[in-house]
Amino acid sequence: MDKDFAGKVAFITGAASGIGEAVARQLAERGAKVVIADLKLDAAQKVADAIKSSGGEAAAVAVDVGQIDQVEKAVNFTVQTFGKLDVAVNNAGIGGAAAPLGDYTFDDWHKVININLNSVFYSMKYEIAAMLKTGGGAIVNMASILGSVAFPNAPAYVAAKHGVVGMTKSAAIDYAKKGIRVTAVGPGFIETPLLQGMSKEAHDGLTAMHPVGRLGKSDEVAALTLFLLSDAASNITGSYHLVDGGFTAQ
């Protein structure tokens, strides 16, 4: 395994499970020191411990990404623990309530927008400040296929993910000459804890929407994410990359 992230420090939100965990594990395998940031500290610590037991370097921190002060503390924790910040993945998110726009409650709207969109702004604000101190870095924002297409009964989620894609492009332009690259990844429906509890009928229905005939895997999304964070992607910024089994090609 190439250690192309050796000497790099990574900060990943929502890293206690699913895509975030896969990203953290793959970064650690390739030499990065990783901070597992998650709302569930116990789960985050388990991931960090597993990485350390495999010979990697990791630390866990609790964060509610919808709270500005907690995001600031988590990024500061990263710098204080490992000395700097080189790469970041803003992955934390929620599915939110399902309802057509006219029936969507204000509380549900604000919750989804805060966790899925505002949190990316909060995170990038502090990540960029840390990266500028050491000459640059790379950020991947986890969007969704719903950053480019719609889906029934998901007005807040669709709006938030479209917003993440737009914010990614804006930040990429602002910091392109300052050594910071910013890209977005748009997974299709992935086998993650967000889909737990779904009926077999609903799961089969989602699967049928993907031309490849299956849902994606967290490791597949992580592989693309690591490429975008790596020096091999040094001329890639401001772009949005899909991992969707052909979903949006239809």
Task: Write out the catalytic residue numbers.
Answer: 157
- What single letter denotes the amino acid at residue 156? A
SS3 assignment, position 167: helix
Map tokens 């009926």 to a residue: 199
Which tokens go with 97? 């309530």
Are 116 and 161 a contacting pair, CB within 8 Å? Answer: yes
Query: Facing residues of 62 across strands?
Result: 38
CA dist., res. 222 & res. 217, Å (int): 9
Residue 211, token pair as written in the block: 């031309």
